[in-house]
Amino acid sequence: MITANDLKTKGVAVIQSALQEKAEAIISVRGQQRFVVVDIAHYQYLRECELSAAISESKADIEAGRVVKESPEDHLKRLEAML
């Protein structure tokens, strides 16, 4: 864990050091965990996982018939009716 004071005094070097040991570094502020820092490669991996999950959920919705097929105009009308 990195404290806000460590980050203030040591800068990015403290993050780099923490990320050499683990995939993520937690930054605490006044004793409370507030932020997580990851390197860009790990971040991109997490985004890919998130997108894969969204695709899987969409495919499941399509297979289960939880979709509406309509024109763009009809879609806008349906959205306006929801307001």
Taking the C-alpha atoms of residue 54 and residue 45, their distance in angstroms, rounded to an integer, is: 14
- Residue 33 DSSP code: E
Please give the average per-residue pLDDT across 36-62, as a whole number.
97
Count of Cβ atoms closer than 10 Å to residue 25 Cβ: 21
So what's the pLDDT on residue 79? 96
Residue 27 pLDDT grade (very low, low, confident, very high; cuts 50, 70, 90)? very high
Section 17-33 average pLDDT: 95
Instruction: Delimit the domains of the chain by residue range.
Output: 2-38, 41-82
Model's pTM, two decimal places?
0.71
Task: Provide Rg for the chain, Cα atoms.
Answer: 22
Q: Which two tokens stand for residue 78?
A: 């349906």
- pLDDT at residue 56, as a whole number: 98
Q: Say how many C-beta atoms besides its own lie within 10 A of residue 73's C-beta.
A: 8
